[in-house]
Structure 1
Amino acid sequence: MKKVITGHDGQGKSVFFKVESETVTVGSPIVDWHEIWATHADDKIPVDTSAGKSREQYTADVHNVFPARNQSMFRVLDFKPGDAADALTPDEFDAFVSQLPGLASHMEQDDPGMHTTDSVDYGVIISGKIKLELDDGEQVELTAGDVFVQNGTRHAWRVEEHCRMAVVLVGTDRQ
């Protein structure tokens, strides 16, 4: 996957901020996590490469996997079949979670995979298929080309075969 990000130089001219082959930010037997871009509540556009923030701070500086209010995150996730998660040892699971700050605190202990975030998530299934599960076990299968809007609901992703998903998360306040 090629990642192309545009921005502006100190004179306001459009420039290619970053052009590269995307690598996995966090890999595991459960999901490969590609962190593409993140904005913070105080960020302004146009993005100026001379403004003191390095290019890497927008993509590799993941302090929490879920955005705070007025933050946004763009990522691509490669989910692996459900049995992969079951095969993890406790140490492997702890190692995976330690690479993704904030993930463990959102996951429900008594219902694996279920979680709730303070964000609106806009996503598209690029390849494969995945099931979106909500309260009471209700599920909808999503396949390549399908889109979803996740409005801060309690949910889980159920994976039977490989699935690649692109998603933008926008942090908001919960009522």
Structure 2
Amino acid sequence: MQHREFRRVVTGHDANGIAIIESDEIATQVLERPNRPGVRLTNFWLTDQTPAEYDGPTETCTGPFILHPPKDGTVFRCVEFMPEDPEVMAKLSSEDGAAAFAEMGAGANVVQGGRHPWMHRTDSVDYGIVLSGEIWMLMDEEKEDVHLKAGDVVVQRGTNHAWANRGTEPCTIMFILIDGVAKAGEGKGIPPR
């Protein structure tokens, strides 16, 4: 099974304010790591302010590949999950997850002793759309786990979670991550930061 490449088209304006295509090419900010086997992330666009600037640079996906969106910003990305190998997964721990996430600036976001090596949380509101395949979204307790299929959507709001492809086909999910905050002392189950 092979990961796919994504064509990314970016619009803009010419000097006269006429709508044009500024870029039409394969998305190049991609992250695959041996310590997170079978997963590939592709970034399409980042913003670093709200409201977002729509007539700024033609390319925003430069620099290090970071899990979180920029402060007051967003990330538009795709994550492809190949089926998990149970033998490989049995040998992994949350320490392995922390090492993998540290490469994306988020080692501290891994849940130590979590139910899955890559159980983590982000300080963001994430919109996820399952494009193909199926996947399990694991939560703190097994009774809360949910099986998602193509066409399903998730609004993930800063909770502990992990993605587990227990099927036989790749799963592709599009994500938009929006920088978020939690009101101190409010909400359910918000762990201390």
Unaligned runs of 5+ in 2: 1-5, 184-193
- Bigger shift: 13-22 or 139-148? 13-22
Task: Verify the 8 A CA contact 2:52 2:73 in the aligned structure 1.
Answer: no
Aligned to 2:131: 126
- Once residues 21 and 45 of structure 2 are traced to their aligned partners in structure 1, the CA distance between those partners, rounded to angstroms, is 14
Which residue of structure 2 lines up, in the alignment, with residue 32 of structure 1?
40
Note the C-alpha offset of 1:87. 8.3
Which aligned runs of 4 or more in structure 1 are off by greater than 6 angstroms? Answer: 87-90, 92-95
Q: Which residue of 2 aligns with 1:145?
A: 151
Residue 14 of structure 1: aligned partner: 19
Matched, 1:108 2:116: no
Please tell me the residue identity of whatever aligns with 1:117.
Answer: T
Give the conservation status (yes or no) of the 8 Å contact 1:133–1:158.
yes
Instruction: Describe the shift of the 1:125–1:172 C-alpha distance in structure 2 as closer, same or farther (beyond 3 A).
Output: same
Q: 1:63 to 1:27 in 2, by over 3 A?
A: closer
C-alpha distance in 2 between matches for 1:10 and 1:87: 57
On the 8 A contact 1:75/1:168 being kept in 2, the answer is yes
Equivalences for 1:38-77 in 2 at 5 Å? 38-41=46-49, 44-48=52-56, 53=57, 55-56=58-59, 58-62=60-64, 64-77=66-79
- How does the TM-score come out when normalised to structure 1? 0.80
Residues 102-132 of structure 1 deviation map (CA, whole Å, 9 limit, x = unaligned): 2322112311221111111111101111111
Unpaired segments ≥5 residues, structure 1 = none
C-alpha separation between the residues in 2 aligned to 1:78 and 1:63?
A: 16
Identify the structure with bigger relative contact order (alpha carbons < 8 Å, sequence gap 6+).
1
- Deviations 1:8-38 (Å, cap 9, x if unpaired)? 2344332212211234611232311111100
Query: Alignment partner of 1:164: what SS?
Result: strand
Over aligned residue pairs, what C-alpha RMSD do you find?
A: 2.8
- TM-score of the pair, normalised by structure 2: 0.73
How many pairs align? 167
Seq. identity, %: 32
